[in-house]
Structure 1
C-alpha cells in the first residue's frame, strides 16, 4: 500500500496500520538493518524470488507489499488455502499482460504456501525461471519439509523472528497516536504499564496486539476525561490465553525438543516450564505422557528404572483423573525424570543391535537354544547341550554362548557409571570375566 492510498476506516486496525515505508517496519533487523543484503536489494530495486518463514504476525505479508512498492511492481496475492492451479494460471496471465503493456514486473505473493501440494508448487517454476513473476511465499512451517526442492532451489529463504516486546510496544503507541490510520482521533487513555502488558501478552505477534487493542478500544469506558482502557478491559480481552502454539507445526516440535532436552540436561525448572508452556498452549496431555515415557527409557534407562514406572503410573493416573487434575501427575513425572540419574546406554544398545540385526540378515538359531517339544526335534539335536542357568553356580552358565554361530559376541549394552547402572556394570564385568576364564 502506498502512502497516498486512501484509508478505509472499516478495515481492521491491523490492516490500516501496515507500514508504508521500510522505516516504519518493526523488527527483523537481521534482515532489514541498513547495509543488510535484503534491505540493499529492496532499496536498489533488485527484485528476486524468495520465501519468508516465520511465526504469525511477524510481518511477512507487509514486507512483501513493501518490496512490491519499492520495486514498482504490480502486487498480486493468493492464499494457498483458497486458491488452486487455475488461480495460479490466471495470476500468471495478469503478470504477462502487465509486463507486455505497462513494462512493469509483477510480484506474486502466496500466503501459507506450504498448503499447496507438489503439482501446485510446480506450477510456479517455469514462470519464476522466465521472469514472468517474482515469487514470494509466506509460511509458518519449515520450508525444507513443506516445499519442493525444485521450488526451494529457485528462491532465497529468509527467516523472520518473533517481534521483541519493545517493537510491539512501539506499534501499540503508534496505533493509539495515529489519527489518520489508527485510533488517535478517539483520544484513548491507556496507562504505560498496561501498554507494556498488552505488548507482553501479544507474544511477539503484531497482528494479535493490534486486534486486541482494537477490541479493547471498543470497550473503553468514558471516565469523564475521555475513554479509558483500564486493566479490567485488558484482562477481559486477553482472557482466552495467548501463548503461541501451533499443534503439529514447527513451534510444536521446537517446544517438545526443549522439554526433552531440559529433562536430559537435568534441569527440572526448565523442564517444568516447557511442560507448562505446552499445556497452556493446548497440547494434548496424553501426547506429553507418551513423550515422557519415551524420555524415561531413552535418557534414564537402567540408571533409575523407577523413572519408567513413575512415567507409566503418571499416564495411567491422568487417564483416571482427567484434565486438569491429572496434569499434576505428569508434572511430577517430568520433575522426577529431570532429577534422575541419566543413562542412554539402553538407547544406544538398542539402536546398535537393531542396525546389526538388519545388516547381518537371517542368522540360524543355534541348536542348543532351540526348543525340543517333540521326539523328532530331539533326534535332530534341538536343545542338545543347553545349560539351564538355574542349575549352575550363582545361576550363571559361565562360558555359554547365546549368539548365532560365527557371529562372535558383540557388545551392545555398556552401562554407565551412574545410578543403578554402576552396580549393573560391576556385575556385567564380573560375568564377562567368568566367561573368559571358563573358555580359556
Structure 2
C-alpha cells in the first residue's frame, strides 16, 4: 500500500543516488556515518535530494532511535514531548536521532528549545531545509550544527534509480514485467527536475496506466508529464538566485543567458511586473548614460506589458532584456550618486553659497543673496568657469566619471575639457 518512492527509499549509503561530493567513499561524512559517529547537522538542499533518507540512515548506522517531526505540523508542545522522551531514552543508554523536517518554519523560540538537548547530547539533531540556513535559522542553532549542502540529483542518477525500481521485485515494480524504453525513462528523469521522489511517483503513475505486464508508451508518458512544472520558490533563495543570474547576465552583456533566466522566472510564476521593475533598474544602474535610450525602452516594455498582459506582453520584456544585455554599459551615474550621498552624510547641513542663492525679495538682495553670481549664458563659451556650485567647506568635488563606452565617450571628452578649464580658471583667480 506504500507509494513506490517510499518502498524504494535507500536502505544503505550505497543505494543513495547522487550526492557523491558528500557521500562518496572516503569522504568525512560517510566515514563518520559508517563508524556510527554521527553529529548534529542541518541538511540543506532541494526537494527529493535525499535529506530524509540520510537522516534515517544516520540512525540506522548509529543504532539509534529515529524520531521525526515536521515544523509544518508540530508546535512547541509536541517538540517538548519528543525531547522529554529522548531524554528518558538517553538516561537508559540509547541515543535519539531527531529529524526535523522544514526546520526553517520554526520560529526562534521553537528553534531555541533544541539547544540544551543538542549540547548535552540527548539528541542528535538533524534539521532539513530547502531554504538558506544563514537566513532562516538562528545563529545559536547553527553554531551547534554542521551544515551539509545537498544537491539536486542529476538525470543520469535519477535514471539509475528508476531502473532499480523497475528491476526490484520486492520493493519496486519488478514483478509487473513492465516494458519502457530508455528514451522514455530519460524523459521521466529529466521531468523530475532533480527530485528522485518525484521521478518514482511519475514512474508509478505510468505503470498504473500501462497495467499489468503492459508497455509504457510515448503516449503514456505524454499523459503523465502533461502538467509538470519546474522548481521555483517565489519567495525563497531560489527566487533571489535567479533574479541575480538575470541581472548579472545583463551586466556581462550576455543576451542569451539573460533571455534564459527571464524565461525561467516567467515559467516559474514570477510576477512579470516585478521583472519589468528590475529590468528598469538595470537600465539606470548598469546601462546608465552609456545608452539613455535603454531607460525609455524599459519603461515602454513595462507599459506594453501592462496593456497586453501575459503571454503577449512577455515578448516586450524579452526584447528589452536582449537590448539591455547587448548595448553599452556604464555604472558611472550610479557610482557618482552614491559618492554624493556619502558626502551628504559626512558633511551634514552645509550652507548654500551666497552667490547661487535665490534672491526674490529686496531684503534678501540686501543680505547678499545672489551677490557675485555669474550668468553662464553671458560668459564666454556659455559657462562661467571660475564659479563653484559646492558649499565652501567642501570645495570642488568630482563624482561623475564617464566611461569610454557608448554615448559617455562624448560626455567624457566634454567633461574632461571642462574640468581642466575650470581648474585653470580657479588657479588663475587664486594667483
The aligned residue for residue 316 of structure 1 is: 303
Residue from 345, 354, 357 that aligns with 1:370: 357
| 2:111 is equivalent to residue 124 of structure 1 | no
Give the secondary-structure state (helix, strand or coil) at the position aligned to 1:126.
helix
The aligned residue for residue 271 of structure 1 is: 258
Q: Take 1:377 and 1:128, find their aligned partners in 2: how far apart are those partners?
A: 73
Deviating more after overlay: 210-219 vs 30-39:
210-219
- Measure how far apart 1:387 and its partner are: 2.6
The aligned residue for residue 17 of structure 2 is: 26
The aligned residue for residue 157 of structure 1 is: 147
The aligned residue for residue 244 of structure 1 is: 231
The aligned residue for residue 402 of structure 2 is: 415
Deviations 1:23-47 (A, max 9, x none): 1011111111111000011011112
Give the secondary-structure state (helix, strand or coil) at the position aligned to 2:180.
coil
The aligned residue for residue 393 of structure 1 is: 380
Gapped runs of 5+ residues in structure 2? none
Give the secondary-structure state (helix, strand or coil) at the position aligned to 1:75.
strand
The aligned residue for residue 3 of structure 1 is: none
The aligned residue for residue 95 of structure 2 is: 105
- Measure how far apart 1:221 and its partner are: 5.6
The aligned residue for residue 166 of structure 2 is: 176
Deviations 1:241-293 (A, max 9, x none): 42121112111111111111111111111111111111111111111111111
The aligned residue for residue 5 of structure 1 is: none
Residue from 96, 104, 108 that aligns with 2:87: 96
Give the secondary-structure state (helix, strand or coil) at the position aligned to 1:135.
strand
Give the secondary-structure state (helix, strand or coil) at the position aligned to 2:392.
coil
| 2:61 is equivalent to residue 70 of structure 1 | yes
Give the secondary-structure state (helix, strand or coil) at the position aligned to 2:288.
helix
Residue from 152, 160, 176 that aligns with 1:186: 176
- Measure how far apart 1:189 and its partner are: 1.5
TM-score by length of 2: 0.96
Give the secondary-structure state (helix, strand or coil) at the position aligned to 2:127.
strand
The 1:237–1:389 alpha-carbon spacing in structure 2 relative to 1, beyond 3 Å, is farther
Q: Take 1:297 and 1:68, find their aligned partners in 2: how far apart are those partners?
A: 54
Q: Take 1:86 and 1:306, find their aligned partners in 2: how far apart are those partners?
A: 60
Q: Take 2:193 and 2:49, find their aligned partners in 1: how far apart are those partners?
A: 11
The aligned residue for residue 142 of structure 1 is: 132
Q: Take 1:403 and 1:237, find their aligned partners in 2: how far apart are those partners?
A: 69
- Measure how far apart 1:395 and its partner are: 2.8
Give the secondary-structure state (helix, strand or coil) at the position aligned to 1:270.
helix
- Measure how far apart 1:379 and its partner are: 2.6
| 2:204 is equivalent to residue 214 of structure 1 | yes
Q: Take 2:118 and 2:50, find their aligned partners in 1: how far apart are those partners?
A: 23
The aligned residue for residue 296 of structure 1 is: 283
Give the secondary-structure state (helix, strand or coil) at the position aligned to 2:316.
helix
The aligned residue for residue 380 of structure 1 is: 367
Give the secondary-structure state (helix, strand or coil) at the position aligned to 1:81.
coil
Deviations 1:65-103 (A, max 9, x none): 1111111111111111111221111111110121223x1
The aligned residue for residue 243 of structure 2 is: 256
| 2:45 is equivalent to residue 54 of structure 1 | yes
Deviating more after overlay: 356-365 vs 22-31:
356-365
Give the secondary-structure state (helix, strand or coil) at the position aligned to 2:66.
strand
Aligned residues: 427
Q: Take 1:241 and 1:353, find their aligned partners in 2: how far apart are those partners?
A: 50
The aligned residue for residue 12 of structure 1 is: 3
TM-score by length of 1: 0.94
Deviations 1:96-146 (A, max 9, x none): 121223x11001111111111111111111110011111011111111111
- Measure how far apart 1:378 and its partner are: 2.4
Gapped runs of 5+ residues in structure 1? 1-9
| 2:83 is equivalent to residue 87 of structure 1 | no
Deviations 1:377-405 (A, max 9, x none): 22322222223333333332212111111
Residue from 183, 186, 198 that aligns with 2:188: 198
- Measure how far apart 1:412 and its partner are: 1.1
